[in-house]
Every structure is written in structure tokens, then in C-alpha cells.
Amino acid sequence: MTQRGVLTILGKQYTLNGYVAKSESRGLRLVMMENFGTVFADVLVKPDGKIFVMQAKSPFKAEWVEQFIAADLKCIFSDTMETNCPVQMLSPTHFFIKRRWYKLDLQTVEVKPGAQPAKMFDETKALKP
């Protein structure tokens, strides 16, 4: 899935593109980029809920990616019911998340069904800091 969003952190806005993939075993992978292609965050959520931060770049710290971005990913795209999930579903393709420090207005713009490569869900492929 291709997502477009506006992330507002303490009044500062970032326009983002996100690419979400779901494995056959229900794992999730999100690559979050700015408009010119720089990867801000890359996170893998295994089917058991374990989180792997594959990459995190300024303005996002790895801890923030793990705590908030992964939680938001699970809130919107996981098949299991998440607790503490502040997502509003404005339409089947439009989501709004409001947390204490930030807001995220997110829309799905493209969905490409089909099996994803297993290597996309391999936590050992994370970039080394």
C-alpha cells in the first residue's frame, strides 16, 4: 500500500510517503519517506508483535519509531485488536491519529495486492548504525 500523510509534531508539519507491506503470516513493514525519497523510518512488526527498527533518521529517533510509529502501524493495519489506539477511521482509506505530541492525517492512495518477498520481513537485514 502507498500512503500519503501529514505529520504535525508540536506545530511543525512534515509531508510523508509511506509504503506498507503485509506478509502472508501477518507481519507488517513500513518504510516512511519524505517527498524527495529520504527514508525517515523503516520498521518491521513480526506476527508475534515484536518490533524491529530497521532504520531511523532525523527527526525520528529509533525509540520514537519503536514506541509510536510501530504502534500506529499496528493500530491501522494489524488484524489484531490493539489497546490504546487513538485512530479515527474517516473513510476506508483515510485515517487520523492524535496523540499528545503529534497528529497524523493519513490516506491510502494505492493498493497492490499479492504476495510480498519473504526477505522484506527479515529482521537481520536492518541497516547497521
Give the pLDDT of residue 108: 95
pLDDT of residue 23: 87
pLDDT beneath 50, residues of the chain = none
Q: Where are the domains of the chain?
A: 2-115
Taking the model in full, what pTM does it have? 0.86
Q: Could you read off the pLDDT of 38-65 as tens digits, one per residue? A: 899 999 999 888 999 999 998 889 999 9
CA-to-CA distance for 129 and 127, rounded, in angstroms? 6
Task: Return the half-sphere exposure (C-beta side, CA atoms, 13 A cut-off) of residue 117.
Answer: 3
Q: What is the pLDDT of residue 36?
A: 85
d(CA 41, CA 38): 9
Amino acid (one-letter) located at 46: K
> What is the grid cell recorded at 67?
514506541
